[in-house]
Structure 1
Amino acid sequence: MADTKREIERKYESLGGGLPDLTGVTGVAGVVHRGVAHLDATYHDTADERLTASKVTLRRRTGGSDAGWHLKFPVAPGVRDEIHAPLSDTLPDVLASLVRSRVRDAALLPVVRLRSDRDVTHLVDAEGRLLAEVSVDAVHAERLTGGGGEARWTEIEVELADGGDPAFLDKVEKKLRKAGVRPSASASKLARALEETAPRRERPSAPAGDPVTAGDHVLAYVRAQRDVIVELDPAVRRDTEDAVHRMRVATRRLRSTFKSFGEILDPAVTGPIADELKWLAGELGLERDREVLAARLTASLAEVPADLVRGPVGERLDSWARAEHSGAHGRILGILDSRRHLALLDTLDALIASPPLTKAAAKKPRKILAKAVKKDFRKVAALVEEAVELEPGTDRDVALHNARKKTKRTRYAAEAAEPALGKPAKTMIRSMKSLQSLLGEHQDSVMARQTLRELSAVAHAAGESAFTYGLLHEREAQRARRVEDELPAVWKKVKGAAADL
């Protein structure tokens, strides 16, 4: 088993004189010394420090009140989610799975040992409730790989109590600054230890500069989407709300980028990768589509007057949604652990490290990126104009769905081009988003009606009334007709935005 908590803390450089007087901090009624704890933590990473590069930390620690394995993921500056598992000799499977997208086949090794004497003080309010824990840590760091050395320092750490107001940390910081204490230059003890114990030849180099060429811009977008897929893996495994959807969107963005910018990235290389991304998006989409449908149908049922709800419609919807979700999540875990998925991540890393750039990639970005976005938009235009000429029915539904998919591709292409094209690309992104939303509402209605037909058949076979399912079906049909009525006016605005690109 593993427990998760949100950790909100700030670190400061110690002046060597211990902890400044904090009795004057607004809201603090007592400063309670809690004694000294002796902590011994071994941090684990791959030989090439993949976890550290992602600002993820994995350690096994003894001493203190929370001995065990700790896995921390960044959320925001000074905010991390910490997942704790009981102390054991080997890494628990529950934590190993959460780092798999980053570690893959590489071995996890002990990289740094940190021994700390932690002098703990509690800041409490007038009722004795904990506001924050303040620690003065005397740290001894020892690098365990690469022939590195040792380092020693003292720092002050202020951790907000569970459920506390983050604004309280600002009050503590104001008091510390008045005493001459300044924020730490390192985000974590591990980061400082790695920096100060690394052999000089391993010191990190300066980051790459801003994108210049067309290829630079496209690769920056590709890299960002690869990072999202990897970073969301633990959230998907933990069944965090909206994580599957966001991973699926990043997967689609990547695939669309390869297709939109074939003049910049060699399609002979990216084509097979795009096929694998399509597979992944499809697997992720099964759960997401069902989540959307379940929420839509439940909300629609809530609007039906009670006297028009015939039979256990709500119970059947709930049962269907729970069964679908449970089965889908287990299947997604299998996908994330599969050799096929991990090989795809390796392939994306290799593509970014050695990109298949064409000669056109070296050109200035404005013209070539705008050309790609316009090309995608022309495909959208052809599909939308075809759809509005069709009679309502299956053929129009299919045409609008295809237009929606091309609208997404155009939007993603505009996103990749936006840093180079500026305001015209931003306008295109907004217009594509509005069109995508409208067409998405139509497609959701199509899928909802299909599901209602299936559920009504099951209810009828069980001897239940199908009346309410028919009522919901007609309401969905009306929603689709409203979308179709709105489409010409929205499309006119979209064309106007595209003309400015």
Structure 2
Amino acid sequence: MDFGLDVSPDAVVNPISPRREAALRLAATPADVAAVAVTAQDRNLLAWDGRWRPLTRTFFDVADKRLARRGISVQVDMRGPVRLQRVVMAGIDPFGVVRRSVWSTRLRSGEPDLSAIDDPDLRERLGLVLPGDLRPVALARLNRARGFMLGPRGGGRATLIVEEGEVEDADGVRPLATIELVGEADTAWLLPDRALVLHDMAPLKVDRLVQPAAPEQTVPAPVKAAKTALPADIGVEEGADMLIRACVDHWTRNEASALDGRDPEGVHQLRVALRRLRSLFTLFAPIIAPAQLDRFRTEIGWLAGRTGPARDWDVFLSELLPPVRDACPDIVGLGNLAEAAETVRREGYLSLHEAMTAPRYAALLMRLGEALESGSLWSPSPEARLLRGGHLRDYAHHLLDERHSKVRKRGRRFVHLASADRHRVRIAVKKLRYATEFFSSLYPRKRAVAYGRAMAGFQEELGHLNDIATAERLLAILGARPEADEPQRIAIGVVTGWYACVAAELEPRLNAGWKSFLGAPVFWADGRG
């Protein structure tokens, strides 16, 4: 089957029945493109003729860009005398795999014409688009080549499409170099695997624009984790797959904002997503292949660790230092302290940016996508297969019991616990909360909400205690800097004293939160499926 674009005079077009395909686009430099082509051919992984063909593609939308928001792209391709309209309806998964339907129509001119589209689903999605409503929003001038990559052990085949050129839109002209892997809709599993093979040849990264060469998008706002509604009768493996994908979706939806760095919430949500994902690998460790478990725990931990300094300094500057400065405006050193903290925060953001643009980051997403799509994430052992085939509700019941008991055990005689022991309670509560968030949809909502409210209240107070400990650690870092002067050291003493008082005031609320948590009935009692 021909997976690539064909705009020859005898190209097969069908405005009624779409071609359904999956694609994974990899951003590259022209040098990367050349390296991949040469290396892949040398290893007998790629079959292509090396011929580059010019292509001009114009992207159209209505004035308010609503088609793009609906996941639809109207394109007109021109190669020589041939004009081909492509209407593409697409969505992207957390790993960058685009699943799209393509309706192709031969045109007499370079203007789009939707009148020939007769697919009811597409018509409904398009809505009312009158003649003349469509206007060009971007123009891509490309050179394109393509070849074929066989799957591992000869299983399946993917088309490899290479594009180099430039894209012009309202913001100007920018270069473009991409490698796109395209397969039939039912061979999406093959694309992350072949992307990893290419990534070993050059430092490629997943390109998350749904439409190739589409106009660049504004940085999306940070988003919180969406609740995953699990069917009551879902199996363990299927449930684990759904939850892992949801966490990766939360991660990648905040990727652009974290890289942009202007909204601290982007880094915060990225950090939350990575912590939740790592927690899932612990929850489902008995059904995950040991080598995969070790790899992903290590890699996700590495990335989550890079978010730490940026997030800690964000909290210090936006939440911990302001109340002290407001209450003590005459202490000059507090302003100097804020400037020093801002310098260290920038270093933290730079470290995170370096990690997120490194080949290791791209490889982590590709490997995780490949492991899920191919099924290699799961342990083949008889014990694991037995667990994977069971009901998630039974599995969750055991895990929730275990984590709830651990919190109660670590919090025994909470009033008398030292700071280090209370920190261990906080970590246990956080792990329990992740588990309840993952599995609560399997149980009656009213009881889950009541338990979650009690736990969240206690966790919030423990979080304030952790913020105080973080402030002490960050103040020590600032005080150890060679640039720290006497006014800054005085300011450090003031902030330290301030939060010592806050900690004392926090004690009654902590104890009340612990009692409230102990009194909340567990929502999974008698909940085995």
1:51-97 deviation line (CA, Å, top 9, x unaligned): 59xxxxx9xxxxxxxxxxxxxxxxxxxxxxxxxxxxxx96999xxxx
Aligned equivalents of 2:364, 2:259: Cα separation in 1: 18
**Which residue of structure 1 aligns with residue 350 of structure 2?**
330
Aligned position for 2:299: 276
| Aligned CA distance change for structure 1 residues 456 and 238 (closer, same or farther; 3 Å) | closer
The equivalent of 1:259 in structure 2 is: 282
What's 1:417 paired with?
Answer: 439
**In structure 2, which of residues 332, 336, 348 is the aligned counterpart of residue 311 of structure 1?**
332
Matches within 5 A, 1:180-219: 202=184, 212-219=234-241
SS class of match (1:303) = helix
Q: Which AA in structure 2 matches 1:322?
A: E
Amino acid at match of 1:319: E
d(CA) in 2 for partners of 1:294, 1:305: 16
Distance 1:189 1:286, change over 3 A: same
Residue 367 of structure 2: aligned partner: 347
Q: CA deviation at 1:262?
A: 2.8
| Distance in 2 (alpha carbons) for counterparts of 1:431 and 1:418 | 14
SS at match of 1:376: helix
Partner residue, 2:308: 285
Structure 1 stretch 340-349 or stretch 410-419: which is displaced more? 340-349
Counterpart of 2:256 in structure 1 is 234
Provide TM-score, normalisation by structure 2: 0.55
Secondary structure at the aligned position of 2:105 is classed as: strand
Q: Which residue of 2 aligns with 1:247?
A: 270
Partner of 2:113: 154
Contact 1:380 / 1:406 at 8 angstroms: preserved in 2? Answer: yes
Distance change (3 Å), C-alpha of 1:372 and 1:301 = same
The one-letter code of the counterpart of 2:339 is S
**Structure with the greater relative contact order (CA < 8 A, sep ≥ 6): 1 or 2?**
2
1:397 aligns with: 419
- Distance verdict in 2 for CA 1:91–1:234, change over 3 Å: farther
Q: Cα–Cα, structure 1 residues 496 and 367, in superposed 2: closer, same or farther, change >3 Å?
A: farther
Measured after TM superposition, the shift of residue 228 of structure 1 is 2.6
2:389 aligned to 345, 350, 362, which one?
Answer: 362
Alignment CA distance shift 1:460-1:221 (3 Å): closer
Distance 1:217 1:120, change over 3 A: closer
Q: 1:281 to 1:202 in 2, by over 3 A?
A: closer
One-letter code aligned to 1:154: D
Mapped to 1, the partners of 2:59 and 2:356 lie a distance apart of 40
Q: By how many angstroms is 1:320 displaced? A: 1.6
Percent sequence identity is: 22
Q: Distance in 2 between matches of 1:284 and 1:154?
A: 48
Whole-angstrom CA distance in 2 between matches of 1:202 and 1:369: 36
How many residues were matched structurally?
349
Residue 408 of structure 2 corresponds to residue 381 of structure 1: yes
* Contact kept? 1:384, 1:403, Cα under 8 Å: yes
Shift of residue 113 of structure 1? 6.5
d(CA) in 1 for partners of 2:269, 2:59: 42
- How far is the alpha carbon of 1:114 from its aligned partner? 7.2
Paired with 1:495 and 1:364, the residues of 2 have a C-alpha distance of 28
TM-score, normalisation: structure 1: 0.58
| 1:369–1:417 Cα contact (<8 Å) kept | yes
Q: Identify if the C-alpha distance between structure 1 residues 119 and 486 changes in structure 2 by more than 3 Å, giving closer, same or farther.
A: closer
Structure 1, unmatched stretches of 5+, are: 1-46, 53-57, 59-88, 94-105, 123-136, 157-175, 191-200, 391-395
Q: Which residue of 2 aligns with 1:141?
A: 85
Mapping 1:94-133, distance limit 5 Å: none
Letter in 2 for 1:50: L
Distance 1:218-1:303 versus aligned 2 partners, 3 A rule: same
Whole-Å Cα distance in 1 between the matches of residues 59 and 360 of structure 2? Answer: 46
> Which of 460, 465, 487 is residue 510 of structure 2 equivalent to?
487
Equivalence for 1:469:
492
Once the 2 structures are TM-superposed, how far is the Cα of residue 405 of structure 1 from its aligned partner?
A: 1.8
Deviations 1:341-375 (A, max 9, x none): 23322331133121315221211222221211221
Relative distance call for 1:272 and 1:380 in structure 2 (3 A) is farther
State the Cα distance separating 1:255 from its structure 2 match.
1.0
User: For each residue in 1:378-434, what CA deviation from the matched residue of structure 2 results, as whole angstroms up to 9, or x when unmatched?
Assistant: 2222222254323xxxxx222222222222211111122123224244444433332
Q: Which runs of 5+ in 2 are unaligned?
A: 1-20, 34-45, 65-73, 77-83, 88-101, 107-111, 116-126, 141-182, 189-229, 525-529
* Pairing 1:49–2:23 present: yes
